């Protein structure tokens, strides 16, 4: 019960670019979304809701990915059935190459701590949140690990597959996801909403790494918004970025 309430609260305070993106695609006949790090679908639900308020005739296709198969997606399924758009969901992870990996879930905070590259489990962020938000949780059952399949964007989508927006929220694994989309980004121009999650001491390097990589494809930064609920009383920093490709 409290975890659902916490998720709704964090979703409410999380930064987003819905207003910009919904306006950008308001006159589109088709809207194709790839949501990587789907969890319960808050990003896609919010964006689709705003677009449909402006343009009820748009044909929407959603491709979502999240290795956590234990997530209850009943609310999003009801939203999908009511609005009748195309939706394909996979429990495959997205990364830089095809392989098997270990996926880690922080059982107290599955929305924030589920990742291949889990930097939160030994962080001060986790310790402070655990004290205040899950003080009576099972200390011995801190995490769950399981093996998952990892695939790349380049192997899943062809140059001719038109995607309007990629959202990448994978708890510290964004660079690997982008690396696996190299060929697609060379030949296409989707808008990119990318989360960078890192220890504060490493954040500048992680940010520069992604900025330099996207600059190779002529992407520019449109906006950035910080997750203040992550940043406060924490050794972790989290920022969302919106990128668009410059016209040639």
pLDDT in tens, 70-98: 899 999 999 999 999 999 999 999 999 99
Q: What is the pLDDT of residue 248?
A: 72
Lowest mean pLDDT among 41-45, 121-125, 174-178, 221-225: 121-125
Q: Which two tokens stand for residue 245?
A: 């490709």
State the pLDDT at residue 107.
75
Among the listed residues 224, 228, 226, the one whose alpha carbon sits nearest the alpha carbon of residue 242: 224
- pLDDT greater at residue 239 or residue 137: 239
How high is the pLDDT of residue 12?
A: 47
Instruction: State pLDDT tens for residues 110-168.
Output: 666 677 776 666 665 666 665 555 555 555 567 788 899 999 999 999 988 999 999 99
Residues 6+ apart with CB under 8 A from 142: 106, 107, 108, 121
Coil, helix or strand for 131? Answer: helix
Share of the chain above pLDDT 90, in %: 65
Over residues 182-227, the pLDDT tens digits come to: 999 999 999 999 999 988 999 999 999 999 999 999 999 999 998 7
Residue 247: its pLDDT value, please? 84
Banded pLDDT at 7 (limits 50, 70, 90) = very low
CB under 8 Å, gap of 24 or more: what pairs does 52-58 form?
A: 52/83, 53/22, 54/22, 54/23, 54/26, 55/26, 55/27, 55/28, 57/29, 58/25, 58/28, 58/29, 58/30, 58/31
| Lowest-confidence region among 35-39, 76-80, 121-125, 244-248 | 121-125
pLDDT score at 144:
86
Average pLDDT over residues 8-19: 62
Residues 6+ apart with CB under 8 A from 48: 31, 33, 60, 62, 79, 83, 85
Q: What angle do CA 44, 159, 178 make, to 5 degrees?
A: 55
Residue in the structure block whose two tokens are 């009801």: 78
Mean pLDDT of 164-182: 96
Tell whether the model's pLDDT for residue 16 goes beyond 80. no
**pLDDT confidence of residue 99:** 96
Residue-level pLDDT at 158: 93
Q: What is the pLDDT of residue 2?
A: 44
- What is the rounded average pLDDT of the residues 49-78? 95
Cα–Cα–Cα angle for 26, 27, 31, rounded to 5 degrees:
70
- Spatial contact of 144 and 118, defined as CB atoms under 8 Å apart: no
């Amino acid at each position: 019960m409290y975890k659902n309430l916490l998720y709704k609260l964090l979703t409410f305070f999380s930064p987003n670019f819905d207003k910009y993106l919904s306006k950008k695609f308001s006159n589109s006949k088709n809207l194709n979304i790839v949501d990587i790090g789907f969890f319960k679908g808050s990003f896609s639900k919010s964006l689709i809701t705003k677009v449909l308020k402006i343009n009820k005739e748009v044909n929407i296709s959603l491709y979502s990915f999240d290795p956590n198969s234990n997530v209850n997606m009943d609310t999003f399924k009801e939203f999908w059935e009511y609005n009748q758009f195309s939706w394909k969901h996979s429990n495959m992870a997205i990364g830089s190459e095809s392989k098997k990996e270990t996926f880690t879930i922080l059982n107290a905070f599955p929305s924030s701590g589920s990742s291949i590259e889990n930097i939160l489990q030994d962080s001060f962020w986790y310790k402070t949140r655990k004290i205040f938000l899950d003080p009576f949780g099972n200390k011995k059952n801190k995490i769950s690990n399981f093996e998952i399949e990892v695939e790349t964007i380049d192997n899943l989508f062809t140059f001719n597959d038109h995607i309007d927006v990629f959202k990448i929220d994978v708890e510290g694994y964004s660079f690997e996801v982008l690396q696996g989309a190299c060929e697609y980004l060379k030949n296409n121009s989707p808008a990119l909403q990318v989360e960078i999650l890192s220890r504060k001491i490493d954040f500048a390097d992680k940010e520069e790494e992604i900025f330099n990589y996207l600059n190779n494809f002529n992407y520019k930064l449109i906006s950035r918004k910080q997750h203040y609920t992550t940043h406060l009383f924490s050794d972790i920093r989290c920022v969302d970025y919106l990128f668009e490709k410059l016209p040639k």
